[in-house]
Amino acid sequence: MEILSVDFEQTAVIELNGIKVGLTPFKEHDSNVIKIGVDAPKCLTVNREEIHLQMLRKKQEENC
């Protein structure tokens, strides 16, 4: 895992295989929640890990 340090509301850009993805952290004022804005091309699917794993399990079940 690579760990990047950026200030809140500053965008970090990651490029993989010629596709650029922007990640911008936001902190809610009244809580300890950090939100991440993701700027990616429409051809790229972006999900949280648990959603991604659910989708993989569902696809495996459909193939059985």
Over residues 6-24, mean pLDDT: 92
Instruction: Judge whether 28 lies within some domain.
Output: yes
> Residue 16 is part of which domain span?
12-63
Backbone angles phi, psi at 36, to 5 degrees: -120, 120
- What DSSP letter does each residue of 46-64 carry, written as one string? ---HHHHHHHHHHHHHHH-
Split into its structural domains, the chain has a count of 1
Q: How far apart are CA 38 and CA 54, in angstroms?
A: 20
Residue 32 has pLDDT above 90, yes or no: no
Q: Is residue 14 very low, low, confident or very high in pLDDT (cuts 50, 70, 90)?
A: very high
Q: How far apart are CA 23 and CA 39, in angstroms?
A: 6
Instruction: Judge whether 25 lies within some domain.
Output: yes
pLDDT in tens, 40-64: 999 998 999 999 999 999 999 998 7
Q: How far apart are CA 35 and CA 33, in angstroms?
A: 6
Over residues 17-25, mean pLDDT: 93
Average pLDDT, the chain: 90
Instruction: Judge whether 4 lies within some domain.
Output: no
